[in-house]
Amino acid sequence: MSKRVLTTESGAPVADNQNSASAGIGGPLLLQDQHLLEKLARFNRERIPERVVHARGSGAYGYFEVTDDVTGFTHADFLNTVGRRTEVFLRFSTVADSLGGADAVRDPRGFAVKFYTEQGNYDLVGNNTPVFFIKDPIKFPDFIHSQKRDPFTGRQEPDNVWDFWAHSPEATHQVTWLMGDRGIPASYRHMNGYGSHTYQWTNAAGEAFFVKYHFKTNQGVRSLSSDQAAELAGKNPNSHQTDLLQAIERGVNPSWTLHVQLMPAADAAEYRFNPFDVTKVWPHRDYPLQRVGRLVLDRNPDNVFAEVEQAAFSPNNFVPGIGPSTDKMLQGRLFAYADAHRYRLGVNHTLLAVNAPKATTARNYGRDGLMASNSTAQGRAAKNYEPNSYDGPAETGRALSAPLAVTGYTGTHEAPQHTKDDDFYQAGELYRLMSPEERSRLVANIAGGLAQVSRDDVIERNLAHFHGADPEYGRRVEEAVHALRED
């Protein structure tokens, strides 16, 4: 059987792919060698701007199956029938490091799910922790700058990391999570995922509920100690990527059970914690977990760049029955994520296969732009404006979710205070839930980083946060830091 012919990008056959055209044997190369110039030019452009955060990622396809009736809380079509399956793509990631970083590091993990529903794509962008470091998006660029490589030294600096946390007491809860036993997952399969933010569900009667998502791993939670992670990262920087790929290739398909916490909208104003503060959780005794369904990953991407690197998730991709809350960090991300993808991938990134709807067709009046194709034309003579008299797609007049009540004056405001709202209470609750062994490892992990800080005032600020969370917690961290600095 004859081989298929190698061609240029314009389809012309390539005569020689081993030798460049030259002016005589051993002479200079020719500008007219279109195949050489095309290969070099394409090679120069193989990389796109990497994500500022969540740069290093892995992903897989699968499905979400509804196991429990939740129609009393949301009229989202893909959740309306027990047994119904919806195709999904899930991207895991680390947060702070670059695309070339190691998998086994102490860092939150991204847990982003794209549901390809019949009413459009629904993106749920979360992490493997139920809380976050800050509560207002205006602090996000500064937070990430403090965690990334220093512009002078070119490395992550403990001074920067802990100095930002010293001035951000609201980070104490997430720092306690990150420095605890679950701070370094053994693999992507062995960690939970959380929506983290508060979202809104609306049922068919128009009743609104605030909701938090919890994906509980069915493989069991497994984590690495700092020493185990350091050894693994050195031996196999791609440990989590390899584990996920090989598990699915063997047919050992990882799965998670989705539970939600549901709060009637009327409860929010008087709840003891601000329910829209992403540095806080809702204790399960207040709002118990309710099972929704099962998420299964069963197919690896064919091309990591095309499908994982170019996967674009945005929390403003909602479907009818699901919407946002007034969570400040979520509100900021509604803009920032989509804007990042327009910068990295172009305005037509939603046409890429991994991002395009699969169970329905996108119909709108977006045209042209970088990488425009016939798929943006919506038909040969389709108009690019609305309203029109040519049977173009039209609005439904039906809101995706219930309206959010607003009141007061515009301006820069701190989040409203609820009865139990402080920056340390829940961090202390988390510490007190830990076993003696877990507390010891937490203290050692915090002290190992904090002891590297060069300024005493920064250390003291951070110690005050741990004292505020729990007296024993603060005392033990303080003693451990002082012991390390005296050595």
Which positions are catalytic? 54, 127
Residue 287 identity: Y
> What's the token pair of residue 288?
């118990």
CB 90 within 8 A of CB 113: yes
Angle separating helix axes 328-345 and 140-147, nearest 10 degrees: 70
CA 186 to CA 223: how far, in whole Å?
A: 4
Q: Pick the closest to residue 453 from 440, 462, 444 (CA basis).
A: 462
Is residue 387 reached through a cis peptide bond, with omega within 30 degrees of 0 on the bond before it? Answer: yes
CB 356 within 8 A of CB 120: no
> What's the token pair of residue 369?
């732009």
Cα dihedral 384/389/391/394 (nearest 10): 70
Q: Say how many C-beta atoms besides its own lie within 10 A of residue 439's C-beta.
A: 19
Strands 199-202 and 290-299, bridge-based pairing = unpaired
Residue 211 has phi, psi (to 5 degrees) of: -140, 140
Q: Pick the closest to residue 302 from 116, 59, 6 (CA basis).
A: 59
**Region label for 205, one of left (φ > 0), alpha (ψ between -120 and 50) or beta (otherwise):** alpha
CA 326 to CA 357: how far, in whole Å?
A: 27
Q: Say how many C-beta atoms besides its own lie within 10 A of residue 64's C-beta.
A: 25
CB 393 within 8 A of CB 386: yes
Cα dihedral 96/252/222/113 (nearest 10): 40
Sorted by sequence, the CB contacts under 8 Å of residue 271 that are 6+ apart come out as 263, 282, 286, 418
- Name the DSSP letter for residue 307: I
CA 150 to CA 143: how far, in whole Å?
A: 12
> What's the token pair of residue 447?
């002290």
Query: Within 13 Å and on the Cβ side, how many CA atoms surround 264?
Result: 5
